Chain A
Amino acid sequence: MKKTFTINVSGIIFHIDEDAFERLNNYINSVKSHFSNVEGKEEIINDIESRIAEILQEKLTDSKQVINIEDIKNVVSVMGQPFEFDENEEQEKKEESYYYQARPVKRLYRNTEDSVVAGVCSGIAAYFHADPIWFRIGFIIALFSGFGFFLYLILWIAIPEARTTAERLEMRGEKVNISNIEKSISDEVGNLKEKLNDLTNQAKTTYKKKSTQYKPGYDHVLIAFGNIFKYFFKVIIIFIGIILFLVGISFFIAFLASIFGWGGFVINEHSDIFIGQFPIFADRFLGGVENIGLLRVGLFFLIGVPIIMLLYSAVRLIFNIDKIRYIGFTAFNIWIAGLIITAYFAFRILKDFRYQDYSKKEYVIEQPKSDILYLDMEQNRGYNYYNDNEYVVICDDDVIITEDGKFFREPMLRFEESNTDQYQMIIYSYARGKTRNAAKKLAAKTIYNINQEDSLLTFGSYFELPDNVNWRDQYLKIEFLIPIGKKIHLSYDMDEIIDYHRNYYPYNLPGKTWIMTTSGLKREVDEISLKGEKESGQEVKIKLKKNHFILNILSCTLMM
């Protein structure tokens, strides 16, 4: 809906939109001022007006009864701007005035038409014919150094505001003549129209905003501070956008690299960089997925699309781009498709994890001649421990996967009382499968090495999966049975595989000798450990002596 005026142009009545009226009025005024010194100006203007009326008349039809701004623009372009009428006798006069004002006056004004706070930066920029953004950035930087605020305040007070069109022309260093003023006014009218449109849009969303902005003489400082706040808000938004963009781009590169194996994928574990190949991992973990391409597409939709949306929103924040229609909807649909594809694979793989079972194997221990067994760890780990970019460690040093897809995991060792008078060792290997039977079969494939030489038992530090066996949550439990009265000695390295969840024996098992009693493992003090405990032993003795001494004193006093 628009407000219209009724005007009379050389005897004909027109209905005209408000903005169109403003434009026409400006135009006719500029024509009038152009011909103000010409003989017979009334006649010329009347002729022009009647021609305008004629053109406008042609624009109207039964369905279009109101003159709009486009019509006026058309009229102006047909009739021409006053400075285009130059082909008349005024030319000589004009040249005189041209010489008179050959050097246009340039003055510093505040440009309140294009202002963030008070138009200081904009005015300075107009003076130097530069983009105000550089001065604004300069002031923001100066703001942080402290004096920027006061400098701005001083300039705000010192520099006058460009109020009239002539002043605005002076601000830009343009000649103050009729044609320039006319041009400037039509620019301003155009700007005003845009501003009005903006305002109506704003008013639609927040009525409140409008009322504060359009109270004449309302607290100007408050509005200025509001503008400062708005500007800072914009800066913050852009800053957030940049951060989002950086995060998004790194996610995206990492993700693409991992999915499509562009140079392998990177896991950063304890700041060690590990490079793996997706196909090997997919194969090892997921196992038997013949259509790996589809899985990639699914993963791309599921993970890649949100990352892309993150990037998109970052770009929108930075460059203040309008929302593209349906993009969110489309992205959501693609994401759902990715979810379905991935879920399909997930369910297929999940089926493989349905049942758990174990296979039990007894390792026959050659009984030692003395009643002590020494337990130690194999130093060779099956992978190069020191080349830590060739493997990755998962679950607190529990699971190790090497670059070429080899899979290692620590077994769990626990000690129990034996019913017989023999050392026994039972190895339970667990796995999961579609059926119990499959799980059991898979479990049996686990490789674990133990060696015995006389009374020295060497345990492997990890169990291993053969290359053709998929990862199905395999783990290994070793039950070590010790007859009562028999001893074991544990090397310090044994710490790695001892299952401390069994709570009935002391925690610091390694590096010491232990004897099995009816109430679990007990400390056996042997020569090796005595050396280490000499000092503490002395302490005990001293304590005993002290006690003795006190007792002595007590008894003495009693005796007395």
Chain B
Amino acid sequence: MCCMVLKMYYICKMNLEKTKAQMRKGVLELCILSIISESDVYASDIINKLKESKLIVVEGTLYPLLTRLKNEGFLSYRWEESKSGPPRKYYQITEIGKKVLEELNMNWQELVEAVNNIIIKEESEVETNQ
């Protein structure tokens, strides 16, 4: 009996984690494109910015995403020598990438507004009910 309850709890928790991860995943691409659009950066810069805002937990997450964005033609990169380490890949945004970013950005603003509308309304309702 107890075992069952524990199992249910773990399943719920796992699902919640999944939802959170999916939310992050959707936003992550937008964030990467946005960071790159500002200036040419290499992976570490992106990682630092994303880590600051707690959008990624481990760095390993980033590389497959970058590769996929590049393969879709949103990004390109050039090699640059580094004094302290291996040569760095500097990413820059392509024309297609810029358009995608604009679209995604608009989409995001709409989404935020819509979501906020719902959430804040609910909250105020809860407050008035109280």
Q: Do A and B bind each other?
A: yes
A binding-site residues for B, Cβ under 8 Å: 9-12, 31, 35, 38-40, 43-44, 47-48, 50-51, 53-54, 57-58, 77-82, 84-89
A87 to B67, Cβ gap below 8 A? Answer: no
Q: How far, in whole Å, are A51 and B66 apart by their CA atoms in the complex?
A: 13
In the complex, given contacts A50-B85, A85-B58, what are 9 additional A-B residue pairs having Cβ atoms less than 8 angstroms apart? A12-B85, A39-B68, A39-B71, A43-B67, A44-B64, A48-B60, A50-B87, A51-B43, A51-B63
A40 to B61, Cβ gap below 8 A? Answer: no
B interface, size bucket: 20 to 34
Number of A-B contacts (CB under 8 A): 78
B121 contacts partner chain A, Cβ-Cβ < 8 Å: no
B1 contacts partner chain A, Cβ-Cβ < 8 Å: no
B binding-site residues for A, Cβ under 8 Å: 21, 24-25, 28, 43-44, 56-61, 63-68, 71, 84-89
B61 to A87, Cβ gap below 8 A? Answer: yes
Tell me the smallest distance from the CB of B19 to a CB of chain A, in Å.
12
Contacts of A9 in B (CB 8 A): 86
A53 to B85, Cβ gap below 8 A? Answer: yes
Q: How far, in whole Å, are A403 and B87 apart by their CA atoms in the complex?
A: 95
Q: How far, in whole Å, are A48 and B59 apart by their CA atoms in the complex?
A: 9
A88 to B60, Cβ gap below 8 A? Answer: no
Q: How far, in whole Å, are A88 and B88 apart by their CA atoms in the complex?
A: 24
Contacts of B84 in A (CB 8 A): 57-58
A85 and B60 in contact, given A40-B67, A47-B43 (Cβ under 8 angstroms): yes
A48 to B57, Cβ gap below 8 A? Answer: no
Contacts of B67 in A (CB 8 A): 40, 43-44, 47
Contacts of B63 in A (CB 8 A): 44, 47-48, 51
A47 and B89 in contact, given A54-B44, A87-B25, A89-B68 (Cβ under 8 angstroms): yes
Q: How far, in whole Å, are A47 and B87 apart by their CA atoms in the complex?
A: 11
Could you give 16 example pairs across A and B, Cβ below 8 Å?
A39-B71, A40-B68, A47-B43, A47-B67, A48-B63, A50-B86, A51-B63, A54-B85, A57-B84, A57-B85, A77-B58, A79-B60, A80-B58, A87-B25, A87-B65, A88-B61
Tell me the smallest distance from the CB of B74 to a CB of chain A, in Å.
14
Contacts of B68 in A (CB 8 A): 39-40, 88-89
